[in-house]
């Protein structure tokens, strides 16, 4: 633990800090978008995510009254030179705390670059589009626009009729390792050209999802076309505690099998499954610069944009 400002003390996070971090993040979210955008479990999952080093990759800033006023972290995106970063300061707190946390985060990113022998690393940070102050702040730090993600939602007012399966399509859920391995392969091939995507092994892919409290393997749906793995939808409980909505974390179709309606079929299948579970809706995020016309697919399926998050990047 060390002091860098007259009013704040910087320390490393612990798993036990999840509640205070969640309170801080909720206060920030509420000031920007009017309500918390994460749950306690989301924060707890972040602190135990495989590859996140509590002793090196995160920082907490407490005021003299013990209140948590700042939270920052960096996270290397798999075996790559891509690093996700975040810096959050409690609304109304001034005195240069954000600058100090940014210095710590950028310094750790430089360490990661040196440790892995990269000539440079690329930092990504997601910022709510409505947070113009933070957008301006990251721009001053040398970040440039990378892409934008839209949060899409559809409401379910009652039962949703499951769609008929296209000819030759059979669905499997993810309780078995055989199905999960096939789903992993489809995911890796289907997302290969997407912004910020990093290929990972099955073990890395499985470990990360298994560590998340929102994972429910029965919500992974693999579509085989004439016996061949062709498309996958991975759902989770991420938005159940706060919004009672299903969440489509991943929807991928093999490139050579696109245009056959597999993505639309899996999406409508997820809507029906979420409605049958009593959920009020289904949520997903889509990259507006997706290499496939995903945004149009979701809008044509009845989903609407409810939030925009811009991803900024900096080469360091």
Classify residue 316: in a domain, yes or no.
no
**Residue, of 89 and 193, whose pLDDT is higher:** 89
Task: Choose the final residue of a domain: 115, 142, 169.
Answer: 142
Q: Please report the pLDDT score of residue 296 as a whole number.
A: 83
Number of domains in the chain: 2
Q: What is the CATH number of the domain that holds 293?
A: 3.40.630.30
Query: Both 174 and 50 in a single domain?
Result: no
pLDDT at 222 over 60: yes
Report the residue count for the chain.
316
Q: Please report the pLDDT score of residue 250 as a whole number.
A: 96
Asked whether 123 and 143 are in contact (CB, 8 A), the reply is yes
Task: Choose the final residue of a domain: 103, 123, 142.
Answer: 142
Query: Both 164 and 193 in a single domain?
Result: yes
Condensed to tens digits (0 to 9), the pLDDT of residues 153-188 reads 999 999 999 999 999 999 999 999 999 999 999 999
Share of the chain above pLDDT 70, in %: 97
Query: Both 75 and 138 in a single domain?
Result: yes
Terminal Cα-to-Cα distance of the chain (whole angstroms): 27
For residue 217, what are the contacts with CB-CB under 8 A and spacing of at least 6?
173, 174, 175, 180
Using pLDDT thresholds of 50, 70 and 90, give the confidence band for residue 290: low
Helix (H, G, I), strand (E, B) or coil at 43: helix
For residue 257, what are the contacts with CB-CB under 8 A and spacing of at least 6?
225, 230, 231
Query: Both 114 and 245 in a single domain?
Result: no
Using pLDDT thresholds of 50, 70 and 90, give the confidence band for residue 294: confident
Task: Give the sign of the dihedral formed by CA 1, CA 86, CA 196, CA 174.
Answer: positive
Classify residue 314: in a domain, yes or no.
no
What is 266-277 written as a DSSP string?
A: HHHHHHHHHHHT
Q: Please report the pLDDT score of residue 6 as a whole number.
A: 59
In the numeric block, which tokens belong to residue 277?
């579970």
Classify residue 25: in a domain, yes or no.
yes
Using pLDDT thresholds of 50, 70 and 90, give the confidence band for residue 2: very low
Helix (H, G, I), strand (E, B) or coil at 117: coil
Query: Both 119 and 208 in a single domain?
Result: no
Classify residue 220: in a domain, yes or no.
yes
Classify residue 199: in a domain, yes or no.
yes
Query: Both 17 and 165 in a single domain?
Result: no
Q: Please report the pLDDT score of residue 75 as a whole number.
A: 98
Condensed to tens digits (0 to 9), the pLDDT of residues 239-287 reads 999 999 999 999 999 999 999 999 999 999 999 999 999 999 999 999 9
Condensed to tens digits (0 to 9), the pLDDT of residues 93-132 reads 988 999 999 999 999 999 999 999 999 999 999 999 999 9
Classify residue 231: in a domain, yes or no.
yes
CA nearest 103: which of 62, 126, 70?
A: 70
CA nearest 158: which of 255, 277, 262?
A: 277
Query: Both 196 and 246 in a single domain?
Result: yes
Classify residue 105: in a domain, yes or no.
yes
Q: Please report the pLDDT score of residue 291 as a whole number.
A: 56
pLDDT at 3 over 60: no
Residue 103 burial (CB count, 10 A): 13
Q: What is the CA radius of gyration of the chain?
A: 20
Query: Both 131 and 246 in a single domain?
Result: no
Classify residue 147: in a domain, yes or no.
no
Query: Both 112 and 163 in a single domain?
Result: no
Share of the chain above pLDDT 90, in %: 92
Q: How far apart are CA 259 and CA 176, in angstroms?
A: 28
Using pLDDT thresholds of 50, 70 and 90, give the confidence band for residue 38: very high
Q: How far apart are CA 95 and CA 98, in angstroms?
A: 8
For residue 140, what are the contacts with CB-CB under 8 A and spacing of at least 6?
none
Q: Please report the pLDDT score of residue 94 as a whole number.
A: 83
Helix (H, G, I), strand (E, B) or coil at 297: helix
Q: How far apart are CA 97 and CA 309, in angstroms?
A: 24
For residue 294, what are the contacts with CB-CB under 8 A and spacing of at least 6?
251, 263, 286, 287
CA nearest 206: which of 229, 227, 175, 237?
A: 175
Query: Both 138 and 219 in a single domain?
Result: no
Q: How far apart are CA 52 and CA 24, in angstroms?
A: 20
Domain holding 291, by residue range, is 152-308
3-state secondary structure 56-107: CCEEEEECCCCCEEEEEEEEECCCCCEEEEEEEECCCCCCCHHHHHHHHHHH
In the numeric block, which tokens belong to residue 61?
């800033």
Query: Both 24 and 42 in a single domain?
Result: yes
Query: Both 104 and 193 in a single domain?
Result: no
Q: Give the pTM.
A: 0.92
Task: Choose the final residue of a domain: 117, 142, 167.
Answer: 142
Using pLDDT thresholds of 50, 70 and 90, give the confidence band for residue 7: confident
Q: Please state, rounded to an integer, the average pLDDT across all residues of the chain.
A: 95
β-bridge mates for residue 244, sequence order = none
pLDDT at 12 over 50: yes
């Amino acid at each position: 633990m060390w002091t860098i400002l007259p009013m704040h003390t910087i320390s490393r996070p612990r798993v036990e800090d999840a509640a205070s971090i969640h309170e801080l993040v909720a206060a920030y979210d509420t000031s920007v978008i009017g309500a918390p955008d994460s749950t306690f479990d989301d924060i707890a999952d972040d602190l135990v995510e495989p590859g996140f080093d509590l002793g090196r990759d995160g920082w907490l800033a407490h005021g003299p009254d013990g209140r948590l006023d700042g939270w920052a972290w960096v996270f290397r995106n798999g075996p790559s030179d891509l690093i996700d970063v975040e810096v959050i300061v409690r609304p109304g707190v001034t005195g240069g705390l954000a600058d100090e946390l940014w210095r710590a985060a950028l310094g750790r990113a430089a360490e990661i670059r040196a440790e892995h022998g990269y000539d440079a690393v690329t930092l990504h940070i997601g910022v709510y589009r409505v947070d113009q102050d933070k957008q301006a702040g990251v721009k001053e730090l040398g970040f440039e626009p990378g892409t934008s993600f839209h949060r899409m939602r559809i409401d379910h007012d009652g039962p949703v009729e499951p769609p008929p399966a296209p000819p030759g399509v059979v669905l499997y859920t993810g309780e078995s390792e055989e199905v999960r391995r096939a789903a992993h392969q489809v995911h890796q091939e289907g997302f290969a050209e997407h912004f910020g995507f990093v290929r990972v092994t099955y073990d890395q892919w499985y470990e990360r999802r298994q560590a998340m409290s929102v994972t429910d393997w029965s919500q992974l749906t693999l579509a085989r076309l004439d016996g061949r793995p062709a498309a996958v939808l991975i759902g989770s409980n991420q938005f159940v505690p706060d919004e009672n909505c299903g969440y489509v974390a991943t929807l991928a179709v093999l490139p050579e099998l696109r245009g056959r309606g597999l993505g639309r079929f899996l999406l409508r299948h997820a809507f029906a499954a979420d409605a049958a579970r009593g959920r009020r809706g289904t949520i997903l995020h889509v990259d507006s610069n997706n290499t496939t016309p995903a945004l149009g697919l979701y809008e044509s399926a009845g989903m609407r944009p409810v939030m925009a998050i811009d991803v900024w990047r900096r080469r360091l």
